[in-house]
Copies of this chain bind each other. A is one copy, B any other.
Amino acid sequence: MLRAAVALADESGIDSLSMRRLAEELDVVPMALYKHVANKEQLLDGMVDVVIGEIDPPVRGAAWKTAVRHRILAARRALLRHPWASRVLESRTDATPLVLAYMDSMIGLFRAGGFSVELTHHVMHAMGSRLLGFTQELFDDSRSLDPEVRDMLIREMGKQFPHIVEIVKVVYHEADSVVGPGCDDQAEFEFALDLLLDGLEALLQREIQSPAPSPVRGPIHG
């Protein structure tokens, strides 16, 4: 039944996943689903667990930075297989045991790398959903625009939003001649991930050199 729900969401989108529609898919009366699941929230929790269960285990014997990086990219691969997963994950109010176990293992990687408990706590907040391989993008510029539409947009918006247009121009011009789509999401994700990991590495060095400073202040303004 969880598999059917995941398959339905994969194929028809998460908006199509209603209890009634899922029941129909399983050739079952709607109320029959409530034998397996208390309510829809619990169904979504179960679906999240399916995705989390697909994340490759951490590589062993690697330095913390490599281990963290690989695990996060593994999580991202799992999430990308199920386009609805990040949205559903965001909507969860309580973590399932499986999600907690994933978090626990990620924390373990940092602790093993020498991060203090306090610093690791801040790190978990700073990484946020990136620990699971996704980020909140505010505007989706990854879809490749029809060149005609794009040129029209550039002409229309040039006066109002010159800086946006400047970026669109350059990024899409590159895209035309090099890769297909307008913007490489994976590269952008890794760019931000490495930026953060490098920052964390610097923090770790500082912590090792002068242990237990003010635990709540940031890297510079502390």
Task: Give chain A's interface residues, CB within 8 Å of chain B.
Answer: 89-90, 93, 95, 97, 99-101, 103-105, 107-108, 111, 117-118, 120-122, 124-126, 128-129, 131-132, 135-140, 157, 160-164, 166-167, 170-171, 174, 183-184, 187-200, 203, 215-221
Interface of A is mostly: helix
Copies of chain A in the complex: 2
Q: Which residues of B contact A118 (CB under 8 A)?
A: 170-171
- CB-based contact B187/A216 at 8 Å: yes
Asked if A218 contacts B194 (CB within 8 A), the reply is yes
Q: Are B170 and A117 in contact (CB under 8 A)?
A: yes
- In the docked arrangement, what's the CA distance between A74 and B220, Å? 20
Which of B128, B167, B191, B220 touches A138 (beta carbons < 8 Å)?
B128
Contact among B103, B138, B174, B191 with A103 in the assembled complex (CB-CB below 8 Å)? B138
A93 and B139 CA atoms in complex are apart in Å by: 8
A191–B171 CB distance below 8 A: no
Given A111-B163, A117-B170, A121-B170: A195 in contact with B188 (beta carbons within 8 A): no
Q: In the complex, which of the residues A101, A139, A163 has the most CB atoms of chain B within 10 Å of its own CB atom?
A: A163
Shortest C-beta distance, A84 to chain B (Å), equals 13
What residues of chain B lie closer than 8 Å to A184, measured between beta carbons?
Answer: 216
